[in-house]
Each structure stands twice: as C-alpha cells, then as structure tokens.
Amino acid sequence: MATVRPFRGLRAPQDIAPKLAALPYDVLNSEEARKMAEGNPHSFLHVTKPEIDLDPKIDLYDQRVYDKAKENFAEFRKKGWLVQDPGNCLYIYRQVMDGRAQTGLMCCCAAEEYWNDTIKKHELTRKDKEEDRLKHVDVINANAGPVFLTYKAQAEVDALVEQITKGKPEYDFTAPDGIRHVLWVVKDEAWIKKIQAQFQKIPVLYVADGHHRSAAASRIAKVRREQNPQHTGNEEYNFFLAVLFPHNHLYIMDYNRAVKDLNGLSKEQFLDKVKKSFEVVKTTEKKPKKAQKFGMYLDGEWYELTAKAGTFDDKDPVKRLDVSILQANLLGPILGIGDPRTDKRVDFIGGIRGVKELERVVNEGKFKVSFSMFPTSIEQLMAIADAGQIMPPKSTWFEPKLRSGVVIHTLD
C-alpha cells in the first residue's frame, strides 16, 4: 500500500516559475550549469549546483559548496522568488516532449516505505553521491528535486487525475529546450482523500530515476529521528518529494556506450573476436530496431551486431537485458571493461544526444568504438525490481527529466 501525502509546497510566483525551474543537478556538469544559469539569477541551479557561484577550481564536496546552497536558498525565499502554499496540497505535473505527454502526481512518499521495499529499487547507489545529496538535503532542510517514481497504471487513478487536468493550471510554460511544463495545484480535501485511497490499493511503487535522491532523503529521516527525542513519525522529515507516473506514460531512451581503445587489438582482430558471439554485418542503419541487436560505429563505418543463440540466459531478467549481453560478450571479455561503474575507458551517452554524438566522439579520436543500444523497457525494469535484482549501470535514460524548483518540499 503506497502512501501519498499532501504538503505545503514551496514554489515560485507564476511570472518567475519559468526562469526558476531547472534541470536536475545530476544531468549537468558544473561548466554546463554555469552556462545555463548565466544571466539568470532566478535559476534554481544556484541552489542545486551552488558551485557555479564559487571558484571553478573548488572541490564539489567542499563544505563551502553546501553553505552556498543554504545561503542562495535563503536568499530566494527572502526575495519572494519562492513562497510556501498556505495549506497542504497535492500537485499534478505534466511534461510534454515532442507531442507526447506524461502526467504524474507530485506528493510526498514515506521514507519507511523506501526501507521496507514498498518503493522498489533497481540500481545500486554510489556512497559519495549519496553522501553529497544527504548533506545537501540536510543543509537546506528541503528536498530540492523530486524523485521520479512509477506504478502499474490504474484506470481509477487516471480518471481522478483527468478531473484535475480539465481545470486551469497554475503554471504552463515551455522551457528553452522545448519541453512544456504544466502544473495544477490541488487543495480539494475530498479529491485528495480519494486519490490517497486509490494509492492505498497499489501494492508497490518503483524508482524510475533518482536512486541517490531517494536514498539520501530516506537516510535523512533516520538521522533526524535519532536526533529528535519527541519523534512521532509524522514529522515532515519522514517524507520525501516525488512525482508518481503511471508506467504507460513513460518513455525510456537508449543509453549508449563508447570505449576509448580496442584493448590492444587491431581492427581486424577485434572484429574476429566479436564475430564469435555476434552476427556482424555492415549497415546504413545506425540504431537497432529490436532487442538483442546493436549498432556499432568503428573506423567511420556502422555495423549491425546480432547476439547469437546461447550467448545469454533468456530466462534471467537481468542477463537477457541488452546492456548485459553487450557487457558479458563484448565489453568485458574483448575490450577488458571489467566494471563499467568505475572503468574510465568506457563512457555512457544518453539517447537524447542522438547517434551523431556516437559518431562525433569516434571521428574526433576521443573514442575508438561506440555502440547504439535498443532501449530497456519499463516492463523489464519492473520485472527486475520485483525479482529483487539490480540492473547494470546506465541501463535506462528517461526523458523528459523532472525539473527541480517547480515545487519544493521543506522538512519543517
């Protein structure tokens, strides 16, 4: 049974919201964030990527970075760029990309449900990144960006959401990248009780994107509980900001790979080894049309690779993933990429950048070979989470990304 909790959202006035909403902290490096926020004092990147206001040489985990986030966040509130709703609300958040809409419920979810696996995970987190988000949440005393959750679509929930989206939204703006963002604020207590009752019938939620955010937000609940002798379980720190989308609204893009060298092999030696596990043909097609096929760009030419029968376990939900097949049969044994989480010779390129990016990095000599992947499906993700298993790193790339700063959840 999934908990949906209304909260007093902290958000921008209508005229400031388009300038304030920002891409998530983890899809931009510091240099990209500086450029994106340049000339825009309202950008929420000043809170989520506060190093952009400090010396570019500063370590990202320096205490001064977190102090700057706290200072900037307080300044945003002081200037009236962020104002708290007077009462508890739920929010409906719609994003439209290339004519395709995804509409979700923005609410607070229970940290306890993260720990007891009512909220299921499919990725491992990195300790340094988790600690970074934990510090950020603790210092600003708020969830700056929502966790992206999904659930198996329910007609009753869809009908309730549709009631709201027929009304006038609070925000409706298109960001510079062409993504449209629409937000409805729901104050109606009767409607809120109805949607809560429907989610009580939904047995599990799934983390689609934001494993580090959800881990950090859930850990802060434990930290604050230990610090509070009057802890009741109803304090705001026991809950974290999330947007819940029905699974059939989501769009997963390919998450592609590029490798810096051929592990000491000549082109011919490399291709010979690849042919042991894959059917290899030259092609003009740059993206695979179905699972168990891969595009490979090498020396100015595209090849189609098809995994041979017997090279993977079709009954195992993790081993049959395309990312697993490529790792187990090519990246690992041929190119020597032992742990793709830590190996600096491999890079991951989100499908939003297109196959031109795969060609560019090879043509410019930064990488020797690149691979285009068929996207992982949301059904595969849920099957792996249901089995209590972990996906390989960089298996999914969700678009569009949830904006930070549309609505913020404070922990007091």
238-271 residue pLDDT tens? 999 999 999 999 989 999 999 999 999 999 999 9
pTM of the model: 0.90
Specify the pLDDT at position 272: 98
Nearest to 169 by CA among 74, 224, 93, 269: 93
Specify the pLDDT at position 227: 93
The neighbouring-strand residues paired with 186 are 90
Specify the pLDDT at position 392: 86
Specify the pLDDT at position 302: 98
Specify the pLDDT at position 232: 95
Domain edges within the chain:
10-251+399-410, 255-374
Percentage of residues of the chain with pLDDT beyond 90: 90
58-89 residue pLDDT tens? 999 999 999 999 999 999 999 999 999 999 99
Specify the pLDDT at position 271: 98
Cα–Cα distance between 83 and 104 in angstroms, integer? 22
Q: How far is CA 2 from CA 18, 151, 205, 259, 351, in A?
A: 31, 10, 7, 41, 32
Task: Label the pairing between strands 293-298 and 369-372.
Answer: antiparallel
Cα–Cα distance between 171 and 154 in angstroms, integer? 26
pLDDT at 91 over 90: yes
CB 140 within 8 A of CB 23: no
Kindly indicate the confidence band of residue 171, based on its pLDDT and cuts at 50, 70 and 90. Answer: very high
Specify the pLDDT at position 122: 87
Cβ neighbours of 370 (radius 10 Å): 25
| Average pLDDT value over all residues in the chain | 95
Specify the pLDDT at position 206: 96
Between residues 396 and 150, which one has the greater pLDDT?
A: 150
Specify the pLDDT at position 393: 80
Domain made up of 255-374: CATH architecture? 2-Layer Sandwich (3.30)
95-114 residue pLDDT tens? 999 999 999 999 999 999 99
Specify the pLDDT at position 352: 85
Specify the pLDDT at position 341: 82
328-384 residue pLDDT tens? 999 999 999 998 888 999 999 988 888 999 999 999 999 999 999 999 999 999 999
Mean pLDDT value of segment 285-289: 96
pLDDT at 129 over 90: no
Specify the pLDDT at position 128: 87
What Rg do the C-alpha atoms of the chain give, in angstroms? Answer: 22
pLDDT at 296 over 90: yes
Kindly indicate the confidence band of residue 49, based on its pLDDT and cuts at 50, 70 and 90. Answer: very high
Specify the pLDDT at position 125: 82
